[in-house]
Amino acid sequence: MSKYRTHKCSELRKEDVEKIVSLSGWINKKRDHGNLLFIDLRDNYGITQCIIDKDNKYFLEIEKSQLETVIKVEGKVVKRSDETINKDIETGEIEVAIDTFEILGTCKELPMPVFSDQEYAEEIRLKYRFLDLRRKKIHENIILRSKVISFIRNEMTKLGFLEFQTPILTSSSPEGARDFLVPSRLNPGKFYALPQAPQQFKQLIMVSGFDKYFQIAPCFRDEDARADRSPGEFYQLDLEMSFVEQEDVFSVVEKLMVNTFKNFSNKKLLYDKFPKISYNEAMLKYGSDKPDLRNPLVINDITEIFNREDVSFEIFKKLVKSGSMVRCIVTKNTKDKPRSFFDNIDKWAKGEGASGLAYFTLGQDKNISAKGPIGKFFSEEALMEIMKITKCEVGDSIFMACGKQSELEKITALARDKIGKELDLINDNIFAFCWIVDYPMFERDEISNKIKFSHNPFSMPQGDLTEENFEKPLDILAYQYDIVCNGIELSSGAIRNHKPDLMYKLFSIAGYDKSQVDQKFSGMINALSYGAPPHGGIAPGIDRIVMLLANEKNIREVTMFPMNQNAQDLMMNAPSEINSDQLKELNLSIKNKN
């Protein structure tokens, strides 16, 4: 028998009445009636009410114990009278009448309460994370995370994937995010990089003939944080398969996602078979390559309307002549919305840096007409044409934005989200997954005007790649795909390019010559020259999956020991200065700031 307990704090029931038991845990809450004291004793599993009165020799000691003191109690399980049963806790039909008591761990005055649903400043939560983690909601989130990871690991194993570890100290890669660097003592002046993802290693695993690999892989990127993006480190379900096409990867991941989300959430899946949306279509219809498909609103291009003679909305017409486009969002049956609704959206858009959102509502007396400040600029025929393009009807409203493609995509995507929320169109009780496919292989850097890889340089380009195609690199699509859920990008993946010649060709388009490729990707390119299987994979973000399942908006709520926005660990004081001996050993010197 355990020295500390016969039962956990969630276990005792009325069937256990009369048993002599011992429990250990934290004092969650005390209710002191002077001569009678109730103690809610909490452990990882639950809460049990314990009771002691003044006749017990331990009464005074227990009465003056702080909340969160760790204690062991021994006593008899007692049935509660009907009117004192607490239905809110599992053990609410009984209580433990304390006989003996022992303090296992004392507790100073708390910097923050543990028993409370109140929100606290992030700073104090992170500094005292060990206290924060005792609190119900986040404690459960972290347990959920553990269960999700076990489940995924089990599913992957069942599907025949093998789990391997890959190096944490590796080499810096020229593409992608900023690296975290680690100085090498044995190689003065040289640095390891922490992996941004095990990208090259997982491909090497395929070249090594292991066929199906996965790993719950730590990834390190030195980029600024967001609510859904931890600074520094995060985890991916990294997976790779040999002798597969895009569809083979999709079917594995779809199965895994459907099983995981059905197992850990009561929310419905909007699609069991995830729709595939091309990158270009997503950018037009949703203004984004991570659309929230719970939102029924779509964006339409109505640029051509502003070339018509019978449209006299001169501001837009002028901009369209000089190369701008017009895109719009239709809201169904909003004719009775107050003027303030429309003006607020317009005002909001201006706050987002756009020139605003023009709008009108379609009305009909004898003829169809547009109501609103700019309605008079559109003829009935022009309105009919808009109705045809956008499939809108009388009673609907249309919000329009005008601008260059990229700024237009940005503002319409934000507007789609904003209007969807304003009109309460987003059902929070569903998960809407989709695949975004057919990403372009290359894009033009807006600042340098150079051609660069738009995503992963190791992706396989689509189609028959003749010389002619290489002359129009921006038209080349890749077997590159993302999986998106409720507007959150869960991962991206690709069928890889396993042909060295083609790889050199693609890198040359992005401005790397053969020797640069040989040098930067020596491990990879060399390996691909010794019989590489066609292969592909993907890497869904574990943190974001758990975030969706836990219904949290911030990734720190599903991360046990997160860093703050400035990539500092307030509990461990990382990063910290190091002493001169350490620097000397590493052949480093610190240049003084300013």
Partner RNA sequence: GGGGGUGUAGCUCAGUUGGUUAGAGCGAUCGCCUGUCACGCGAUAGGUCGAGGGUUCGAGUCCCUUCACUCCCGCCA
Q: Which of residues 378-397 bind RNA (CB under 7 A)?
A: none
Nearer to RNA, 120 or 264 (CB): 120
Q: Take residue 289 and report the two structure tokens written for it.
A: 């390559």
Using CB under 7 A as the binding rule, whether residue 548 contacts RNA is answered as: no
For the segment 176-195, give every residue that binds RNA (CB under 7 A): 176-178
Pairing mode, strands 299-301 and 325-331: antiparallel
* Residue placing its CB nearer to RNA in the complex, 36 or 104: 36
Check binding of 67 to RNA (CB under 7 A).
yes
- Taking the least distance from each CB to RNA, the nearer of 56 and 361 is 56
Quick one: which of 38, 164, 220, 264 contacts RNA (CB under 7 A)? 38
Strand-pairing partners, residue 358, are 400
Angle ∠(200,539,501) on CA atoms, nearest 5: 35
First-to-last CA distance in the chain? 64
Residue 170 DSSP one-character state: B
Which CB sits closer to RNA, 320 or 408? 408
Closer residue to RNA, CB minimum distance, 294 or 556: 556
Residue closer to RNA by CB (options 24, 236) is 236
Give yes or no for residue 538 binding RNA (CB under 7 A).
no
Binding mask 436-475 for RNA (x = CB under 7 A): -----------------xxxxxx-----------------
55 binds RNA (CB under 7 A): yes
Residue from 80, 262, 499, 505 binding RNA (CB under 7 A): 80
* By CB under 7 A, residue 17 contacts RNA: no
- Give the closest residue to 455 by CA, choosing from 479, 473, 435: 479
The candidate with the shortest Cα–Cα distance to 151, out of 565, 530, 472, 549, is: 549
**Interaction between residue 99 and RNA (CB under 7 A):** no
Q: For residue 224, state whether it binds RNA (rule: CB under 7 A).
A: yes
Q: Does 405 bind RNA (CB under 7 A)?
A: no
Asked if residue 54 binds RNA (CB under 7 A), the reply is yes
Q: Give the whole-angstrom CA distance, residue 342 versus residue 361.
A: 10
Three-class DSSP labels, 300-328? EECHHHHHCCCECCHHHHHHHHCCCEEEE
d(CA 527, CA 511): 22
CB-based burial, 123-146: b 16+ in 10 Å, e otherwise: eebbbbbebbebbeebeebbebbe
Among 161, 264, 268, 174, smallest CA distance to 215 is for 161
Q: Is 88 among the residues that bind RNA (CB under 7 A)?
A: yes
Tokens of 24: 């250990």
Contact between 11 and RNA per CB under 7 A? no
Interface with RNA by CB under 7 A: which range of 48-56, 142-150, 463-471, 543-551?
A: 48-56
Q: Of 226 and 318, which has the nearer Cβ to RNA?
A: 226
Strand partners, 241: 212, 536
CA–CA dist 212, 214 (Å, integer): 7
Here's the x/- map for RNA, 116-145, by CB under 7 A: it reads as: x-xxxxxxx-x-------------------
* Among 267, 565, 571, 586, contact with RNA (rule: CB under 7 A): 565
Q: Does 35 bind RNA (CB under 7 A)?
A: yes
- Which residues within the stretch 306-335 sit at the binding site for RNA (CB under 7 A)? none
| Integer CA distances (angstroms), 475 to 176, 325, 462, 469, in order | 22, 21, 10, 8
| Residue 393 beta carbon to RNA: minimum distance, rounded to whole angstroms | 33
Least gap, CB of 331 to RNA (angstroms): 23
| Cβ proximity to RNA, 269 vs 488, nearer residue | 488
